[in-house]
Structure 1
Amino acid sequence: MNDILARRARRATLGIALSAALAAGIAPVTAIAAETSSPTGAVALQTEDAAAAKEKAYAAMQEALKTLEAAKDAASPEKLAEIDDDIAAFQEIYDMVVTEAAKRREPLPAMQANVDAAQAKYDEAHNRTSGLQAELNKAIDDGASNETIKQLRSEIMSAERREKSCEDDLHHCQRRLESQERQVQYFESEAEEAKAHIDEDIAKRNALLGDLEKAQAAYDDACKAYEEAKAAADKATSPEITKPAETTKPSSSAQPAETAQPASSPATGKYAPSSSTK
């Protein structure tokens, strides 16, 4: 309230100076400049500026306080506890699925070895069948006996059954391996998803605490700035500053000593001129 009254008084003073200048035929700018350049005017401007700076600092402090309260609400112990509970739950899931993935990954090398062995047996059986078929074709072209051709065809049928059995074994081993790999991939995917949730919650928690720390620092700085502005305003409105220094009237100098009048000499008769010698 005192700051507002001071500014109103200042505007009134400038208005009076302007009216007086117009009445006296003085340029308004010159009159106002003279008013503001006077000791009283300079002090008034300093007081007004200090009061405005104080109000601005107070508004900034209040805004920083609102931000701080919002950050405290967002990072309240209850909300942080909820985030911690989520982290703990997903951590439990993560540990479980990682363990399961490791268990299902363990037999993969042996299963892959079974596939490789089955593939080798199948390749051998297939090559046996192909070789017998080529031998039969050659025997027919060469006009071999029916007994020879019949024998070769019997061996081919046996080789084809062997090849089919090896192929079935190979497919069985491959399906088991693929199924085991899918299980490993499933649990690894679950682990990645749980880890993503954990990282997201940790980042959220850190962000809330970081915002709270920044808001607290900003509020502390705003309070410090307000205290400095308030001290400056109080100093500007203190009697020692606002009261213009009184001009001391110089002491009157000593009166000059009166010049003594010369004492009047007694009237003397005229000296008779000396008679000339005749």
Structure 2
Amino acid sequence: AAKEKAYAAMQEALKNLEAAKDAASPEKIAEIDTKIAIFQENYDTNLAQAAIYKESLPTMQANVDAAQAECDKAHNRTRALEAELNKIDYTTPAETIRQLQEAITEAIMQEDFCEDKLEHCRMRLESHKSLINFFESEVEFNKTHLDGETAKRDALLDDLKRAQIAYDDACKAYEEAKAAADKAASPEITQPTETTKPSSSAQPAETAQPASSPATGKGATPSSTKQANASSGKPGKLANTGDTAPSAIALAAVAAAGLGITATATRRIKNSK
């Protein structure tokens, strides 16, 4: 069960690895890198432009402030001349009245000029600020996409790395489970027990020889032969083999003696009748 489970885990890890390789293929990574390069270039360009326009911003603001001061001065002069003209009466010479009127006209013209200049400076300043805002928004836009594409690429490569490590670990676990299963399935080989060799001093006991050998023909008659002779009532002689067990000839003699006794008994019974 452990082997099958490890094999299934290895197959699942292989499936994940193939998916990670497909997601992080060289073509897709190259496509992401191209986007990153474009966003990086746009980011750098807009950031530089915003910095340039920001450098001239204080000067342009100073121009607006100066134009505003000139405009205020011209406006105050016009108001002062108009107030002076309003103070004259019928005793004021006509030449004085004419000069005041001309001065007021010039003051109004100067005031209009200052107002136009102020408006121009303000428009330049606002346009400058709009450009700065545009460049800064482009910087933010490209920075967002740059970070997003970079994070996407890094995530794909990290997923591929983790999938490769997981697959390697699964293969190792499967090999270990397979080795354990194979070891459990194979019978254990037992080593044979070593036999202690007898020492050179211990000699086997000699077998006792019979009292008489077959060559001499002398010796005690086996007990089985004696019993057969006793049962027949006749002394019978069997060939002495020199062994304690009766030979085939001795057994045949015993059987023949038994048959002879049975036949004699049968004849006696018939004669008695």
Q: Say whether the fold is shared (TM-score over 0.5).
A: yes
User: Relative to 1, partners in 2 of residues 1:70 and 1:114: Cα closer, same or farther, differing over 3 Å?
Assistant: same
Number of the residue aligned with 2:92? 145
Matched, 1:158 2:121: no
Number of the residue aligned with 2:69? 120
Query: Deviations along 1:60-108, whole A, 9 cap, x unmatched?
Result: 1100110011111111222211211222222222333333333333332
Q: What is the CA-CA distance between 1:152 and the residue it aligns to? A: 3.9
User: C-alpha distance in 1, partners of 2:30/2:98?
Assistant: 84
Which secondary structure state, in structure 2, belongs to the residue aligned with residue 108 of structure 1? helix
Deviates more, 1:221-230 or 1:206-215: 221-230
Matched, 1:63 2:16: no
Which secondary structure state, in structure 1, belongs to the residue aligned with residue 147 of structure 2? helix
* Higher radius of gyration, 1 or 2: 2
Q: 1:91-110, aligned counterparts within 5 Å?
A: 91-110=40-59
Paired-residue identity, %:
66
Residue ranges of structure 1 left out of the alignment (5+ in a row): 1-51, 244-278
Number of the residue aligned with 1:169? 117
User: C-alpha distance in 2, partners of 1:101/1:144?
Assistant: 64
Query: Deviations along 1:37-59, whole A, 9 cap, x unmatched?
Result: xxxxxxxxxxxxxxx11111110
Number of the residue aligned with 1:36? none
Matched, 1:86 2:18: no
Number of the residue aligned with 2:146? 198
Q: What is the CA-CA distance between 1:122 and the residue it aligns to? A: 0.4
User: Relative to 1, partners in 2 of residues 1:144 and 1:136: Cα closer, same or farther, differing over 3 Å?
Assistant: farther
User: C-alpha distance in 2, partners of 1:107/1:232?
Assistant: 77
User: C-alpha distance in 1, partners of 2:27/2:120?
Assistant: 55
Query: Deviations along 1:127-154, whole A, 9 cap, x unmatched?
Result: 22223333444x16x8773746555444
User: C-alpha distance in 2, partners of 1:77/1:230?
Assistant: 35
Query: Deviations along 1:240-273, whole A, 9 cap, x unmatched?
Result: 29x9xxxxxxxxxxxxxxxxxxxxxxxxxxxxxx
Q: 1:16-95, aligned counterparts within 5 Å?
A: 52-95=1-44
Query: Deviations along 1:188-229, whole A, 9 cap, x unmatched?
Result: 322322222221111111000110111112112212222222
Number of the residue aligned with 2:247? none
Question: Which one-letter code corresponds to 1:230 in the other structure?
Answer: K
Question: Which one-letter code corresponds to 2:35 in the other structure?
Answer: D
User: C-alpha distance in 1, partners of 2:144/2:180?
Assistant: 53
User: C-alpha distance in 2, partners of 1:186/1:225?
Assistant: 57
TM-score by length of 2: 0.61
User: Relative to 1, partners in 2 of residues 1:111 and 1:68: Cα closer, same or farther, differing over 3 Å?
Assistant: same
User: C-alpha distance in 2, partners of 1:180/1:134?
Assistant: 40
User: C-alpha distance in 2, partners of 1:213/1:109?
Assistant: 52
Number of the residue aligned with 1:34? none
Number of the residue aligned with 2:268? none
Which residue among 235, 247, 256 is the counterpart of 2:183? 235
Deviates more, 1:119-128 or 1:74-83: 74-83
Question: Which one-letter code corresponds to 1:207 in the other structure?
Answer: A
Whichever structure has more helix as a proportion of its residues is 1
User: C-alpha distance in 1, partners of 2:175/2:7?
Assistant: 9
Question: Which one-letter code corresponds to 2:130 in the other structure?
Answer: R
Residue ranges of structure 2 left out of the alignment (5+ in a row): 191-273
Which secondary structure state, in structure 1, belongs to the residue aligned with residue 188 of structure 2? helix
User: C-alpha distance in 2, partners of 1:170/1:125?
Assistant: 12
Q: Higher relative contact order by CA 8 Å / sep ≥ 6: 1 or 2? A: 1
Instruction: Report the aligned-residue RMSD.
Output: 2.5
Q: What is the CA-CA distance between 1:121 and the residue it aligns to? A: 0.3
